[in-house]
Amino acid sequence: MRTPFGLGQTKPRHYLEMARVAWQNRDEGGYAWRILRDGVCDGCALGTSGLRDWTMDGVHLCMVRLDLLRLNTMPALDPAVLADAEALAARGSTALRGLGRFAHPMLRRAGEPGFRRIGWPEATDLAAARLAKVRQHDPTRAAFFLTSRGIPNETYYVAQKAARFFGTPHVDTAARLCHAASTVALHRSLGFGAATNSYTDWLDADLIVFFGSNVPNNQPVTVKYLHYARQRGAEIAVVNPYREPGLERYWVPSVPSSAVFGTDLAQHWFAVDTGGDLAFLNGTMKALLDLPGGVAQGFVERSTEDFTTVEASLRGTPWSDLESASGASRAEMERFADLLCAKPKTILVWSMGLTQHRHGVDTVLAICNLGLMRGLPGLPGAGLVPIRGHSGVQGGSEVGCAPVTEAATLDRWAGVWGFEPPRGPGLAATGQIEAAADGDIDAFWILGGNFLETTPNRERIERALHRPEIRIHQDILLNGAMLVEPSDTVLLLPATTRYEIPGGVTETTTERRIVYSPPIGYRGSEARRLGESRPEWEVLCEIVSRARPEPAEALDFADTGAIRNEIARAEPRYAGIEHLEQKGDQFQWGGARLFEDGRFATSSGRARFHVVAPPADRALEEGELFLSTRRGRQFNSMVHQAQDPLTGLDRSDLLINADDGRARGIADGERVVVKSPVSQIELVARFQPIKAGNVEAHWPECMELLPWSLDPDSGEPEYGVRVRIERAGA
């Protein structure tokens, strides 16, 4: 019998949490409400406008958005606290964020204990002079990185144009750390690096499959779609090492029946080893080859190429190889294939559980192969969805904020811009870190983000932050990366949130919907301005234009409307963005579904199959376990609660299978030492429903266990490692 509101069970207490958020924002209650009512969500990439979206009627509100609300309403930080950087660095990220918002430019030079407040004239003079010096010597010794912290399309576009006007191709975003593998693979296979369908298709699907994705934690509004999809007869399957409690049952606070009694979600569970998805997908396709209707033959023949090569590879792969590389039995892969055949309208959803591996691109190519084999792209109620966890990452790369090398794109930009962009290969974010650590970057401009918490190998990251002659951080909050002592100079420049940018801005959602977010009025003004904070795009234009004065009009944007006008000319898919100017204005590039006519965005017009195989070194040695990182109640590396309300686990807990624990003489709740090839940490063992041979630990707390290992095709870091575990003090 179900208890009302999940009393006595481990679950989020949504209404209590909403009351906490209201109390936390009580000093700016009216402004906070207007953000929720009128702004486009700055959390995940679902993209609600105010409290509503384009998928279904009703109010949508989730704790991801509410947890971020205080970042937009908090008061200014006292500049005096920045005088002692070493003392601040010892306080931890949560304490640093709690100090308040940046409101004034700050400067620190080598040998100084901390920062001092300066004015904008001194800040821009210094930055422009240093950048001009770098440009005169070699402009490619400058790099630009942008995080996904609510940054809008307009800022991404200006940043990439400013970087290229400066003369460097080294510009990238935080998407490199999460879905770069998806973007690369989808481009190779389909021609576009985006979801092929809309969220409305979730409501019409027969089957929705989640690979390495925990939407109740990271995109909780989508669970409302799942609730209604289940009511309409859809089934849900999960392929994952861990049986996520939130995907078993979730309480949707805006649906009365679900808020009281919960919604049962997944009916089908398929346990694989960490990183074993590629082999599982190949095994599923091998099984489909011998099932009646397993291959959408007409679609494959009409709209794809290279299928026969993949078919031959699959038929030639022994089942024993697929079983050992995936951790799943042949019977389980055949069961999944049977399920797909029984449910033709299938949506395949994946996230970082698939992408954050050194074979991430190959794994996403395998998902694309499966989707093509089943004829899913363009089919109503079906499709491929690399679900995004941050509101800026989809649009950032689409408006060019990436190390682009395609000649046609660069030619188009040259025509629009009136200057020639650099043609050489650009460094991805991870390449920028490597170059900076090696002393090959003299100017490092960082808009948001904290490499110390988001990328492996702390010693390398500290060198990358220390060695450039000038480091510029544009941000709204203080973090540990800013406190790394510079070799010469570091500037902190106060930025605005998206709701504080005059003229409004846009974001692009997971379903390719470009949505306008208006400025939120504040005490009689069009938008709030905290202290001396300025929109990032304005500062980029001013400083880079002074570092390279000619042509003078290159970065001369009057407002965000002018930026949108240029985006429409520079990026054909975004034609129409120039008309977005009021709350609710939006359009979906490519339409509700991509490739409905069976033609793809490749040079041949056909989707491409690719032969992919798991790494050859998948086998564990005696005593080893696969460790993967996981998220709790957090947004990116910003931890909001010490205990995950979905699992009841603390940040110091290690999820381990009971049999694996007992085999090592470890009891539930006992402290253990987790050893990787590069480090070791102490955690608390918690017996959980996770596949034997696998463990999970919370990120970023377990970061020091991870080596510097990159996917060679995307440059995305691997966020997993083989470990050994023993009792603490043994």
- Which residues have a Cβ under 8 Å from the Cβ of 642 and sit 6 or more positions away? 650, 651
Q: Are residues 431 and 461 in the same domain?
A: yes
pLDDT class of 148 with cuts at 50, 70, 90: confident
Q: Are residues 350 and 450 in the same domain?
A: no
> Residue 722's pLDDT is what?
98
Cα–Cα separations (whole angstroms), residue 166 to 69, 143, 159, 542: 35, 10, 10, 12
Beta carbons of 195 and 224 less than 8 angstroms apart: no
Mean pLDDT (the chain, rounded): 96
Q: Please count the residues of the chain.
A: 730
Coil vs helix vs strand at 504: coil
From 387, 409, 429, give the residue that closes a domain.
387
pLDDT per residue over 448-459, tens digit each? 999 999 999 999
First-to-final CA distance of the chain = 44
Q: How far apart are CA 706 and CA 236, in angstroms?
A: 32
Q: Are residues 284 and 306 in the same domain?
A: yes
Look up residue 647 and give its two tokens.
Answer: 């699992």
Q: How far apart are CA 166 and CA 554, in angstroms?
A: 11
* Strand-pair category, 720-727 with 263-264: unpaired
pLDDT per residue over 565-624, tens digit each? 999 999 999 999 999 999 999 999 999 999 999 999 999 999 999 999 999 989 999 999
Residue 70 lies in a domain: no
pLDDT above 90: percentage of residues in the chain: 90
Supply the CATH number for residue 258's domain: 3.40.228.10
Question: 143-169: buried (b, 16+ CB within 10 Å) or exposed (e) per residue?
Answer: bbbbbbbbbbbbbbbbbbbbbbbbbbb
> Residue 636's pLDDT is what?
82
Residue 663 lies in a domain: yes
As a whole number, mean pLDDT of residues 472-476 equals 97
Question: In whole angstroms, how large is the CA radius of gyration of the chain?
Answer: 25
> Residue 232, Cβ neighbours under 10 Å: how many?
11
pLDDT per residue over 434-444, tens digit each? 999 999 999 99
Q: How far apart are CA 135 and CA 549, in angstroms?
A: 12
Of 180, 177, 145, the residue nearest 159 (C-alpha): 145
pLDDT class of 139 with cuts at 50, 70, 90: very high
Q: How many CA atoms within 13 Å lie on the side-chain side of 149?
A: 22
DSSP 111: T
**Tokens 């707390």 label which residue?**
701
Supply the CATH number for residue 712's domain: 2.40.40.20
> Residue 243, Cβ neighbours under 10 Å: how many?
15
Beta carbons of 472 and 445 less than 8 angstroms apart: yes
> Residue 635, Cβ neighbours under 10 Å: how many?
22
SS3 letters across 87-136: HHHCCCHHHHHCCCECCCCEEEECCCCCCEECCHHHHHHHHHHHHHHHHH
DSSP string, 248-280: HEE--TTSHHHHHH-EE---EEE---TT-HHHH
Q: Are residues 308 and 426 in the same domain?
A: no
Domain of residue 107 covers 101-177+392-502+528-567
> Residue 4's pLDDT is what?
81
> Residue 47's pLDDT is what?
83
Supply the CATH number for residue 455's domain: 3.40.50.740
Please give the sequence-ordered ranges of beta strands (E in DSSP) within 51-97, or none if there are none: none
From 328, 360, 387, give the residue that closes a domain.
387
DSSP 469: S
Look up residue 421 and give its two tokens.
Answer: 């962009």
Residue 382 lies in a domain: yes
> Residue 44's pLDDT is what?
86
Look up residue 597 and give its two tokens.
Answer: 């006519």
Q: Are residues 187 and 311 in the same domain?
A: yes
> Residue 730's pLDDT is what?
73
DSSP 176: G
Residue 647 lies in a domain: yes
> Residue 632's pLDDT is what?
87
Q: Are residues 420 and 532 in the same domain?
A: yes
Q: How many domains does the chain fold into?
A: 3
Residue 616 lies in a domain: no
As a whole number, mean pLDDT of residues 534-548 equals 98
Q: How far apart are CA 16 and CA 451, in angstroms?
A: 33
Q: Are residues 637 and 490 in the same domain?
A: no
Q: Are residues 383 and 412 in the same domain?
A: no
Of 661, 409, 512, the residue nearest 196 (C-alpha): 512
CA 589 to chain centre: 20
Task: Identify any residues that bridge with 727 across adjacent strands, giving them in sequence order.
Answer: 672
Alpha-helical segments (H) within 343-448: 352-355, 360-373, 393-398, 407-417, 429-437
pLDDT above 70: percentage of residues in the chain: 100
Beta carbons of 625 and 659 less than 8 angstroms apart: no
Residue 261 lies in a domain: yes
Q: What is the pTM of this model?
A: 0.97
Q: Are residues 214 and 363 in the same domain?
A: yes
Q: Are residues 689 and 720 in the same domain?
A: yes
- Which residues have a Cβ under 8 Å from the Cβ of 332 and sit 6 or more positions away? 270, 271
pLDDT class of 344 with cuts at 50, 70, 90: very high
As a whole number, mean pLDDT of residues 271-275 equals 98
Cα–Cα separations (whole angstroms), residue 654 to 40, 351, 660: 36, 21, 12
Which amino acid, one-letter code, is at 727? R
Q: Are residues 245 and 378 in the same domain?
A: yes
Peptide bond preceding 551 in cis form (omega within 30 of 0):
yes
* Strand-pair category, 443-447 with 383-386: unpaired
Give the helix/strand (H/E) hosting 725: strand 720-727
- Pick from 403-407, 530-534, 672-676: least confident: 403-407
From 537, 552, 567, give the residue that closes a domain.
567
Residue 28 lies in a domain: no
DSSP 53: -
> Residue 1's pLDDT is what?
57
Residue 609 lies in a domain: no
Of 161, 148, 222, 199, the residue nearest 507 (C-alpha): 148
Of 33, 43, 340, 31, the residue nearest 211 (C-alpha): 340
Q: Are residues 191 and 166 in the same domain?
A: no
Q: Which residue has the higher pLDDT, 1 or 183?
A: 183
Look up residue 718 and give its two tokens.
Answer: 């691997």
Beta carbons of 242 and 220 less than 8 angstroms apart: no
